[in-house]
A and B are shown apart, each in its own frame.
Chain A
Amino acid sequence: MTLPTAVFPLAVTAFGAIAVLLLDAFGKRDSKTPLAVLSLMILAASAVLAGRLWGRSAFGFGGLMRLDDAAILVSMIVLLAAAFTVLLGWQWNRRLDAAFGEFYGLLLLAAAGLMIMAQTADLLVVFLGLEVFSVSAYGLTGLKRNDDKASEAAVKYFLIGSFAGAFMVFGLAILFGLNESFGITQTAACLGTGLPAQLGFGFLLAGLGFKLALVPFHMWAPDVYEGAPTPIAGFFSIAPKAAGFLVLSRLVAAVPKDVWKGLPIFPFLYAVAAATLIIGNLAALRQKNLKRLLAYSSISHAGTMLIAVLAGDGASLLFYLAVYLFMGLGAFAALTAMSAPGREYVHLDDFAGAGFRYPWIGAIFTVLLLSLAGFPPTGGFLAKFLVFSAGVRAGLVPLVVLGVVTSLIAVAYYLRVIVAMYMRDPAPGVDIEAENPPALLVLFLGLVGVLQLGLFPANILHFIRQAAASIF
């Protein structure tokens, strides 16, 4: 056999991306719908190919590619996030004044980059994937070329992103110099050896922390979310997290348990998690712009996920990611569904009374917000609960207490949105168009996902535990 099966899912997405870009460049310019359909088909094909490898841990390119169950699960999350984003962008791209075919091509490419990150045990390949994602992400952020905020966000993202990339390369160089390997296992093995290894790892973490929007590497996130098209912001809130946290947990899992807590990295990550929880939630408290609010919310969720990483509990991390896919993207779907042609409604005041005007959208959005706030019996509650109980088991009690307390603060800002929707009279002059069937579909799927994972998590948890066992 010439090509290993492990490459197929990635290859389909990557070549699909190029095909979509070419079709857009040379095809008819007036309708982008065929591109959306094609993108969905490509994502579905990739998911099917990845799913067929479940439980078999395929390898490729001399071990550079590692398609274990965790990688497959995270790839599924990325692919599903991309599919949701395609659906959310559907209507947005049908309007001629806003249509950009690059949307689909770049999105697929970004997904491919994240899949590369997830499907390897080699840090250089991780970096490669990260850059593939980043370059596409800069383009996606600045898609609205005529919009000042979008261009500004793209430039900011690009500059800080390059900065982060440089840090990461520097870290990789140090680590490679130490043990002449980019393999995660070898790298992790040298972590206890001394200062240079710690330094290299620190730089590497700074680079990863940027993509995961962990404090203090988070500042780009609100600006970028605000400037980027709403569907893309939704994609950014989950997909890079899935891939990045998998890489991080692979690194952590490869360090022997007794060494791990003695490393200076551990208290550093501990502090980062605490700062992320505090800053993310406090800053969100003041937001009136829902995109910025969701940006800070996603930062705070990253803080919670980091607790799972520190606890070394892959299962609760993966479950959290799966739940966040539905509730996070679902919330962005609600924003998309309530926007009008040529204008996005993202201010809190725009949502006044929306719960009465659009009872279904309002009700689903409410459930999603409650899930984000961690209310039982939604998936958001269960995800938090599993992470916290893993944290307690791993002896991270102060961090868990902080997590519980900050999630208490979080309720205040999620609730404000619900209050605006149900406890205020509709704002005059806001003409929201809620006729967006593909976005409504995503919204509905978000609801189903959140309830399914909250009420009937047994089957999915079974798969997730299997995946977590394969992290290392």
Chain B
Amino acid sequence: MDASWLIPLAPGLSAFLLIIFGRSLSRRLVTWLACGSVAVAFSFSLLSALRLRAAAGSVPYPARILLSWIRAGDFRADISFRFDPLAAVMVLVVTGVGLLIHVYSTGYMAREKGYARYFAALNLFTFSMLILVLASNFILMFVGWEGVGLCSYLLIGFWFEKPAAAKAGMKAFLVNRIGDAGFLLGILVLLFAVGSAEFSAVDQAVSGGAIAKSTATLAALLLFAGATGKSAQIPLHVWLPDAMEGPTPVSALIHAATMVTAGVYMVARMNALYAFSGTAAGVVAAVGAFTAVFAATIALVQNDIKRILAYSTISQLGYMFLGCGVGAYAAGIFHLVTHAFFKSLLFLAAGSVMHALSGELDIRRMGGLRHRLPLTYTAFLIGTLAIAGIPLFSGFFSKDAILSAAYAGGHRLLWAAGLLGAVLTAFYMFRLVFLAFHGGERTTPEVRDRIHESPSSMTVPLLILSGLAAMAGWIGIPAVLGEKADLLRRFLAPVIPVIRTPHAGSSSEWFLILTATSAAGLGLGLAWLFYQRWPGLPARFAAWCPGLHKILLKSYGVDEIYQAVLVRPLVGASELTYRRFDLGLIDGAVNGAGAATRFAGRLAASLQTGRIKDYALGFLLGTTIFLAWILL
């Protein structure tokens, strides 16, 4: 029996129960409900994926219509799921990593008073994310798309007593909405051009030539605007670093492993459209490559452990888009999967560090932690080896897949950018490791006395994720090492045709593996020189070019620019509208009420303030404008 449509059910139900009854349930029950529901979803995902694998290639993947939603003449949208290999990979990541993070959260959030509220939002998030990846049409995908945004907002602002957290939540939400506006317009364009919002219909229109190239490009670019918002790509990347104000498990689940990858998933899902457009794919690749380097340079100088990881996430998402943009959609998804493992591992390990150090985030006040937190250190090190692309760890394979595709497709510039990003990645990650876990202890004495390894509810997920981060690369071994070894690509082949993925020859493949390895080695070596061998070097570099250092510390000042160019004018316009149309009226009313109690007196008073006259004037003005309009 096909049980894939049941996957979102349990988290959704649990979220509903927790929202309504959460405050009256015991913590124990909340824990079991929240984790149990995700465990159920994971089992269903696993069963469905195995079933899919057994029946590989024999069936097309029909959309399962759960509910006929809107049928209005030519417009039609259903609540329907399609469980194909791509969706299978995504639900496994969402429920699998999600389950581990739910378990971790029970330890990390144990002393929070909003325990039930936290898990309600986390379950609701899981539910929405599953809707997003299982949807068989854009309208339903948009439902999930907005849902995950909302939950992300709720969880970033979880500690709403902290003004920074509340502000960060709002910022994330509004920046995302800008992208969403593009996304919605993209859907409208496709709907107009294709007549249906079903993914399969769009694919058919593309392959059947029923859609003009320019229209396809427009739609693809508008959809990509949505992806830049959700997946924090330039120019809409500004919300993700601030989103680190949320609890660390949330950063791991939503802002590293799942939600932020929704944009990559969408592009991979629409691979036919992007490949057909060409231009749009080029834009995706360029934005991805640029973001990968851009964010990595910022991460070089940050001192907040979570912010470093946040910029690293932005950079790694850039790699995924680079992969999709050069036509290696499977490689993009491959990196999505490995990144989900190693980045959530890094975040959870960072959370474990914070837990031990009473909430310390600044790596300048850490140091020497490897002796005190051996388990956490091991986990963090494995994550770092994976993300830096050290051979045999998962990140190596997925990054190599992307870079070799860029090279083979003839995009030498993009390939070089990716390589540069790889050096930077290895550098900033090992900088983090050396500063936080090696060297002398720079923690304050009172913090030092209370350092302790985390409870098992937190360390067990770390162990499992360490295993995955180390080994997950083996699902995508490059062709040069074995003809049929590339499991993931073959699994995805029905959705992402292999033809679209260019291959390099055997010798150049070896050359690419070597360059990628040297890049990682170079970054590692430089970090060792800077932070182990000669610790005075970074300060001298900063003094050598203070301007550059400052710009990097300020993240290129993008926030300030947006503030000046977008936010302030908007606030100003609102202020103006408010003053012109609203404030005077309140003043008038207050003055009126204060000055005279009798009706006639007050009427006169309000007439004297001129407000009513103003209204009539506005009215007259409108009509006059119209008259002028038709007379001219």
Contact in complex: B619, A222 (CB < 8 Å) = no
Which A342-384 residues have a C-beta within 8 angstroms of B? 356, 359-360, 363, 370, 375-377, 381-382
CB-defined contacts of A388 to chain B, threshold 8 Å: 184, 188
Contact in complex: B573, A282 (CB < 8 Å) = yes
Within 8 Å by CB of B622, from A216, A222, A376, lies A216
Contact in complex: A202, B612 (CB < 8 Å) = no
Q: Considering the chains assembled together, what is the distance between the CA atoms of A419 and B23 in angstroms?
A: 18
Contact in complex: B67, A455 (CB < 8 Å) = yes
Total of A-B residue pairs, C-beta within 8 Å: 176
Chain A 278-291 per-residue mask, 1 if CB under 8 angstroms from chain B, else 0: 01001101110000
A388-B188, A423-B166, A457-B70 known; A202-B626 Cβ under 8 A:
yes
Contact in complex: B23, A359 (CB < 8 Å) = yes
Chain A: which residue is nearest B74 at the CB level?
A: A393
CB-defined contacts of B143 to chain A, threshold 8 Å: 376-377, 381
Chain A 183-222 per-residue mask, 1 if CB under 8 angstroms from chain B, else 0: 0000000000001001100110110011000011101101
Q: Considering the chains assembled together, what is the distance between the CA atoms of A315 and B72 in angstroms?
A: 9
Contact in complex: B618, A219 (CB < 8 Å) = yes
CB-defined contacts of A149 to chain B, threshold 8 Å: 589, 593
Q: Does A386 contact B (CB under 8 A)?
A: yes
Contact in complex: A408, B177 (CB < 8 Å) = yes
A195-B630, A382-B70, A423-B160 known; A217-B180 Cβ under 8 A:
no
Chain B: which residue is nearest A411 at the CB level?
A: B177
Chain B: which residue is nearest A393 at the CB level?
A: B192
Q: Does A151 contact B (CB under 8 A)?
A: yes
Which A276-323 residues have a C-beta within 8 angstroms of B? 279, 282-283, 285-287, 292, 315
A216-B622, A217-B622, A408-B181 known; A283-B581 Cβ under 8 A:
yes
CB-defined contacts of B585 to chain A, threshold 8 Å: 219, 222-223
CB-defined contacts of A210 to chain B, threshold 8 Å: 619
Q: Does A11 contact B (CB under 8 A)?
A: no
Within 8 Å by CB of B619, from A160, A370, A405, A461, lies A160
CB-defined contacts of B23 to chain A, threshold 8 Å: 356, 359
Contact in complex: A400, B188 (CB < 8 Å) = yes
Chain B: which residue is nearest A216 at the CB level?
A: B622
Chain B 165-183 per-residue mask, 1 if CB under 8 angstroms from chain A, else 0: 0100010011001101100
CB-defined contacts of B573 to chain A, threshold 8 Å: 282
Q: Does B481 contact A (CB under 8 A)?
A: no
A152-B606, A199-B630, A209-B622 known; A461-B574 Cβ under 8 A:
no
Contact in complex: B582, A286 (CB < 8 Å) = yes
In the assembled complex, the CB of A289 is this many whole angstroms from the nearest CB of chain B, namely 9
Contact in complex: A282, B574 (CB < 8 Å) = yes
Which B434-469 residues have a C-beta within 8 angstroms of A? none
In the assembled complex, the CB of B568 is this many whole angstroms from the nearest CB of chain A, namely 14
Within 8 Å by CB of B75, from A159, A264, A389, lies A389
In the assembled complex, the CB of A84 is this many whole angstroms from the nearest CB of chain B, namely 24
Contact in complex: A389, B626 (CB < 8 Å) = no
Contact in complex: A148, B592 (CB < 8 Å) = yes
Chain B: which residue is nearest A163 at the CB level?
A: B616
- The interface stretch among B51-59, B517-525, B597-605 is B597-605
Which of B139, B626, B630 has the most chain A CB atoms closer than 10 A to its own CB? B626
Contact in complex: A160, B612 (CB < 8 Å) = yes
Within 8 Å by CB of A219, from B68, B191, B606, B614, lies B614
Within 8 Å by CB of B72, from A148, A267, A282, A461, lies A461
Q: Does A98 contact B (CB under 8 A)?
A: no
In the assembled complex, the CB of A266 is this many whole angstroms from the nearest CB of chain B, namely 11
Q: Does B528 contact A (CB under 8 A)?
A: no
CB-defined contacts of A360 to chain B, threshold 8 Å: 20
Within 8 Å by CB of B582, from A167, A195, A222, A412, lies A222
Q: Considering the chains assembled together, what is the distance between the CA atoms of A400 and B23 in angstroms?
A: 42
CB-defined contacts of A401 to chain B, threshold 8 Å: 185
Within 8 Å by CB of A465, from B73, B603, B622, lies B73
CB-defined contacts of B19 to chain A, threshold 8 Å: 363
Contact in complex: A199, B177 (CB < 8 Å) = no
Chain A: which residue is nearest B178 at the CB level?
A: A408
Q: Does A259 contact B (CB under 8 A)?
A: no
A202-B626, A389-B192 known; A219-B615 Cβ under 8 A:
yes
Contact in complex: A286, B20 (CB < 8 Å) = no
CB-defined contacts of B67 to chain A, threshold 8 Å: 455-456
In the assembled complex, the CB of B627 is this many whole angstroms from the nearest CB of chain A, namely 7
Q: Considering the chains assembled together, what is the distance between the CA atoms of A376 and B585 in angstroms?
A: 36
CB-defined contacts of B180 to chain A, threshold 8 Å: 408
Contact in complex: A423, B157 (CB < 8 Å) = yes
Within 8 Å by CB of A458, from B70, B578, B622, B631, lies B70
Q: Does B32 contact A (CB under 8 A)?
A: no
Contact in complex: A424, B185 (CB < 8 Å) = no
CB-defined contacts of B611 to chain A, threshold 8 Å: 156
CB-defined contacts of B533 to chain A, threshold 8 Å: none
In the assembled complex, the CB of B384 is this many whole angstroms from the nearest CB of chain A, namely 35
Chain A: which residue is nearest B594 at the CB level?
A: A148
Within 8 Å by CB of A199, from B68, B153, B575, B627, lies B627
In the assembled complex, the CB of B605 is this many whole angstroms from the nearest CB of chain A, namely 9
Chain A 430-470 per-residue mask, 1 if CB under 8 angstroms from chain B, else 0: 00000000000000000000000001111001000100000
Q: Does A82 contact B (CB under 8 A)?
A: no
Q: Does B142 contact A (CB under 8 A)?
A: yes
Contact in complex: B626, A268 (CB < 8 Å) = yes
Contact in complex: B582, A152 (CB < 8 Å) = no
Within 8 Å by CB of A151, from B192, B577, B599, B622, lies B599
In the assembled complex, the CB of A197 is this many whole angstroms from the nearest CB of chain B, namely 10
Which B70-93 residues have a C-beta within 8 angstroms of A? 70-73, 75, 79
Q: Does A254 contact B (CB under 8 A)?
A: no
Which B149-163 residues have a C-beta within 8 angstroms of A? 150, 153, 157, 160
Contact in complex: A216, B621 (CB < 8 Å) = yes
Q: Considering the chains assembled together, what is the distance between the CA atoms of A382 and B72 in angstroms?
A: 12
Within 8 Å by CB of A405, from B68, B69, B160, B181, lies B181
Contact in complex: B69, A455 (CB < 8 Å) = yes
CB-defined contacts of B185 to chain A, threshold 8 Å: 400-401, 404
Chain A 118-162 per-residue mask, 1 if CB under 8 angstroms from chain B, else 0: 000000000000000000000000000000110110011001100
In the assembled complex, the CB of B580 is this many whole angstroms from the nearest CB of chain A, namely 9
Contact in complex: A152, B589 (CB < 8 Å) = yes
Q: Considering the chains assembled together, what is the distance between the CA atoms of A372 and B84 in angstroms?
A: 35
Q: Considering the chains assembled together, what is the distance between the CA atoms of A455 and B78 in angstroms?
A: 10
Which of A164, A206, A370 has the most chain B CB atoms closer than 10 A to its own CB? A206
Within 8 Å by CB of A156, from B157, B191, B612, lies B612
Contact in complex: A359, B20 (CB < 8 Å) = yes
CB-defined contacts of B606 to chain A, threshold 8 Å: 152, 155-156
Chain A: which residue is nearest B192 at the CB level?
A: A392
Q: Considering the chains assembled together, what is the distance between the CA atoms of A375 and B142 in angstroms?
A: 9
Q: Does B146 contact A (CB under 8 A)?
A: yes
Q: Does A415 contact B (CB under 8 A)?
A: yes
CB-defined contacts of A292 to chain B, threshold 8 Å: 582
Chain B: which residue is nearest A159 at the CB level?
A: B612
Which B281-334 residues have a C-beta within 8 angstroms of A? none
CB-defined contacts of A156 to chain B, threshold 8 Å: 606, 611-612, 615
In the assembled complex, the CB of A20 is this many whole angstroms from the nearest CB of chain B, namely 27
Within 8 Å by CB of A419, from B146, B166, B615, lies B166
A202-B626, A404-B184 known; A163-B574 Cβ under 8 A:
no
Q: List 8 extra interface pairs beyond A206-B622, A219-B615, A220-B615, CB under 8 A.
A: A149-B589, A202-B626, A217-B618, A268-B626, A360-B20, A376-B147, A388-B188, A392-B191
Identify 17 residue pairs between A and B in the complex whose beta-carbon atoms are under 8 Å apart, listed by A's number.
A152-B606, A159-B612, A209-B622, A217-B618, A222-B585, A223-B585, A264-B629, A264-B630, A283-B574, A286-B574, A376-B139, A376-B146, A393-B192, A408-B181, A409-B570, A419-B160, A458-B69
Interface residues of B (CB under 8 A from A): 19-20, 23, 67-73, 75, 79, 139, 142-143, 146-147, 150, 153, 157, 160, 166, 170, 173-174, 177-178, 180-181, 184-185, 188-189, 191-192, 570, 573-575, 577-578, 581-582, 585, 589, 592-593, 597, 599, 602-603, 606, 611-612, 614-616, 618-619, 621-623, 626-627, 629-631
